[in-house]
Structure formats: C-alpha cells, structure tokens
Structure 1
Amino acid sequence: MQRFLWRADHVNADSLSTFMVVALLDMSASLILQDSDDAYLCITGLPDCWSIDGSTVPADNTIFGDAIAGMLASAKCRARQSGSTETIEVSLDERRYFEFRILVFFVGESRSQVITTIVDRTEDRRREKVLQGLLRDVSHRSKNLLAIIQSIATQTSQHTDSIDAYVQKLRGRIYSLSRSQDLVTDSGWRGAFVRDLLDQQVAAYMPGRQNRVNFTGENVLLSPNVSMHLGLAFHELLVNAINYGTFLSTGEQIKVDCRIKNGGDVRQVKVQWNEPVTPQHPLVLTDLPTPVRRLGTAILERVVPASVNGQARYSITPKNIHYELAFPADPVSIN
C-alpha cells in the first residue's frame, strides 16, 4: 500500500504528521501507538469519557479499566496471529458507543508496533436505533392496513351479487383508504384532520362541486387508525349519495358536523352526516332487493365503529339519511 497517493515534491512525508493528527481529531478519532510489549509510544487525543494521568506512563487498564483492557488484549493477540485488523465495539452504559480498530504492523524485519484507532460511533448507533424503530413502526402499520383491507374485502364479498360489482366496490374502498393514507403520511403519521378527510373524498367524486357538502364544527386531528376508517365512512356515504341520492338535482346540501363532547370521564368525537332526500330516494323505497337496501351498511354500522372503538347509528327516512359516529377523543389539535 502506498503511504500517499500523491504529494508535492517539496513536501517531506514526515512533515505531514501534523496534518494526519488534525485530520484524525476532526474525525473525532483517537490514535494510540504501542510497541510489541504494548508499551505506549503516542496518543493523539482521547474521547472525553477517558483521560490520562500525566505523571505516570499510560496503560490500557489505567485509561480504559480492566474490562476494556482485557478485550483489547484479546483483540491484539488475534491481530498478531491473523495479520489483519481486529475490530471491537465498546458500550458505556448504553449511552455512548466506541469502535476500537487494532492493527499490528512491522517496523523493519522483526520489530512490531500496534496502532489502535478509537472512533466515536454513538451517533451512528443512535441513528440505527431510530431506523430500527421506524422499521418496526412501518411493519406494525402495514399489518394494520392489511387487516383493514382484509376486513373490507370480506364485508364487500358478503353483500355483492356479481364479480363485477365486487371488484368495483372493493376498488373504490381501497382507493378511499389510499387517499386517507396519503393524508396520514403527509402529516408525519400524526393523523389527519376531519375536514381534510371529507374534502378529499368530495374532490375525488365531485370535482368542482365541493360546495354541495357543507362542513361545520371542530376540525379535529384524528389518529391514523381513526383517519383511515372515518375516510372510509365518508367514502361509503358519498358514493351512495351520488349514485342514489337526490341532493344534486334538488340543489340541497349535505351537512357534515364534527364536535367534541364531554360525557362523564370520556371525551368523545361525534361526527354526523345529514343528507336530504325525497320519498322517491331508492334507499327509502321498501320494495327494493335487500342487497341494494343494505348497500354499505355493514361498513358503516359494523366495520367502522368497531375499528375506532365507537358506536354508530345509520337511519334512512323519507326526509333524510342520517349517519352518526361517536368514538373516544384523542385529538392532537383542533384547526
């Protein structure tokens, strides 16, 4: 190995020692040079958790303690036998981490010296722990999302009478989840605001006519799980309103209200959907086949409330379609 890939002709290699020391210190690295008997010849800096007594000749055990000194002695023995660099990692109270790299090299034909380089790996290990935590979190959230999709697929299959209808409904519900997921992801996994969940669904199915759905009340920031399921409820209600409702032809508005209610020891979020209808609304008519009359009710009445630990009421009358969802409040903020 070349000592230097290149240097100016007028620069002596030995004069570059200061540069080497400064570079090591800038890298937060310490270098220890020892002879074949492990006697100290030189030290360039030490992490602030260790120190040397200037009145005595330093040694591994006086600087690092007996435990680390024993690890270093074993690593040096292996390095002498293998001729390659040995690496050990030391943890101090699981708060600081240091990497020791031990290399034995020969000066002349028989005299050996040992270079021990110490590098602070605390920040690297901290980042690794953060990344591991994020990966575990992503895995957990992915499993939750798959469970939601599985539940939706099961409920959809129970109330459709053809493959085409099943595919169409399932695709719409999964698209709804993906839109809610985008809001949750954009917030850094804090969740999503109620109004954003509603506006997103309305914009997807009624572009340019968002004013036909009126939101009132408190714009609560919901947890990721609640956001996914409330977005799904809005999807079901809106699709039914567009496909079977009369509000578009009559010029009336759908009204959505969100409030935080104090009920004893538990604060609750209550979301209400009020859709005006006429007596000729298809879901109001009593002579329709059961699958049509049950359109989306399993999602609205069972899947969504069970998933948010809440309760739901869904009613269809000759005057309006009313859906109310109440669940424990865990808002981060109100916008």
Structure 2
Amino acid sequence: MAARTFGADSTALDVVDRLDLTGKSAIVTGASSGIGVETARALASAGASVTLAVRDTAAGERTAADLRASTGNLDIRVAEVDLADLVSVRAFAEHWSGPLHFLINNAGIMHAPETRSVAGWEMHMAVNHLGHFALATQLLPALTEAHTARIVSVSSSGHASSGIRFDDMFFQRGTYDAGLAYGQSKTANVLFAVEAAKRWATYGITAAAVMPGGIWTNLQRYWDPAVLADMKRRYPTKTTAQGAATSVYVATRAHLEPGGPAYFEDCHPARVVGQITDGIHGVLPHALDPATAQHLWDVSAELVSAELARAHYTL
C-alpha cells in the first residue's frame, strides 16, 4: 500500500485516519481553544488518553465534554497549568503518573502588551518558551518511560522577525516591541526542538516544531483590527482543524531523528530560506542553528532552576 500523503488542506482528523493510538497518552497545552482543541480531538479520536493542560479549567471542562461526545473517548481529562508560573508547572508535572507518549506544546500568546511573569520574565518568552521548557524537562521521566515519545512545539513564521536576544532577552534595557518579543519566543520554540532531539535521543525521545499556517483565532486578539483584516485578505487561511494537522502529523506520522528536519509546515518539512517572502512558508537558519540551540538550552535551564529555587523548589 502506498504511503499516505498530507498537505495544506489536510485536517487533523485526516492525519489520524486509520491510526490506532489506544494505550498512548498525550498532553496538549492550551487545549481549550483554537488549534489545541482540534489537536486533542484528533488524538482522542484515534484512541489516545488525552490531558488538556489549561489555565482556565472551566473552559477546559467544556472542551473535554465536547471531545468526549464527538469522539466517544471518555479518557479525556483536564488539569490546571499556568505556564507563566513555574510553581504551577512543577505541580502539574508532580501529579503526572505513567508514560507520556505525546507532549504537544501548543499554548501561546501573541503580540501582547508588555507584561511580566511571576519571575519577572517578559511574558512571551515566559509562556511560549520557558514555561514549556520547564514542563518538558520536568516530564522527562514520563517521556523516557514511553520509549518512543514525541514532543511537538508550535512555532510560527513569526520566528523570522527575531533571533534570540541573549543580551536583553526580557526587554529590561531596550524598548519593548511586541513583534520582536513574539518572534524571539517562536525562534526559541524551534531551537528547543533542535536541542531536545539531540540531547534526549538516547531516551527514545524525538522533537520538532511546527508552523500551523494562517489561522485566525483568539491568539490575534491584540492585533489592530485594520491590520488583522488586511492579513485575512492577503494570506491563505486555514480552519482550526487544518491548522492542527501539522501538529498531529509530527506527533504521529513524521519521520523524526536528531539532525533531521526540525520545522514542519503543511504536513511536511519546511524549506530553509533566507527570508519568508509570503509571510507563511519557510524556516530561517537562525532558528535551526545547533550552537544557538545548545546555548539557549543552557540559559533556559539556569533561569528555570533559579526561579524554582527561589520558590523553594529544586529542578
């Protein structure tokens, strides 16, 4: 039988068609809205046990009820996690038991006004990268227990706007720029996947980042309405079900290996480009650089350890 192919029009349910994930467990962060819901729906429909890791548990419970009804899978639960608060992240990880086969780092914020986390970190970097970094590292025993775990980090073509600002990562000296803050955090998502795939290969863990495509959800709530309307006219649009397809594809079907493709779009590896000319397709070299990935990992580990120590925890 020929291998199945998927593309920009594929939905998350298309990707899991004929797959049996019974006995597999998944965590999807930010799973109470947007593509997180459809990612969870697809994994649950294939039989996986799915945990919706959300900040708003009431919204999470409404989503869980919908997913149980639409998939017939009753093994869907809701757990609270605030990625901007590492004590919350640590508590979530401490309550997890058993192997973890799929960790979908889906939650995120975009172009938000300047705000800071409990640790004083700029909020895009705190939520989009450092919170997920802490979650993954603290769930390492569960990922290792699965033997063939996969980590999916939801990035964006927005990574093109900024590399990692190691000299002022949290905009403590320079003028705050929401676009740069978001771009830096999306670059960090890719670099995390690059380093995790290398560092954790011996544990059977693979990782990659994804660009969902142009999906208009609550994520763009901070955008100027005129800019948002113009973007909707100029760029191709996906449904949330189509936007979730690449996350589910990377979690369940993509060939992943250390040094292999680390950034996927439209259910296939993206081309490395010098610039993203259409606003959507391609990945820039700065997001794939292994030396930068290693350095960011080391900086992130130090920041997370220091914050947990401050909160009377140890990593």
Q: Of Structure 1 and Structure 2, which has the larger fraction of its residues in strand?
A: 1
- Structure whose CA Rg is larger: 1
Report TM bin, short chain: under 0.3
What TM-score do the two structures reach when normalised by structure 2?
A: 0.25
Of structures 1 and 2, the one with the larger relative CO (CA 8 A, separation 6+) is 2
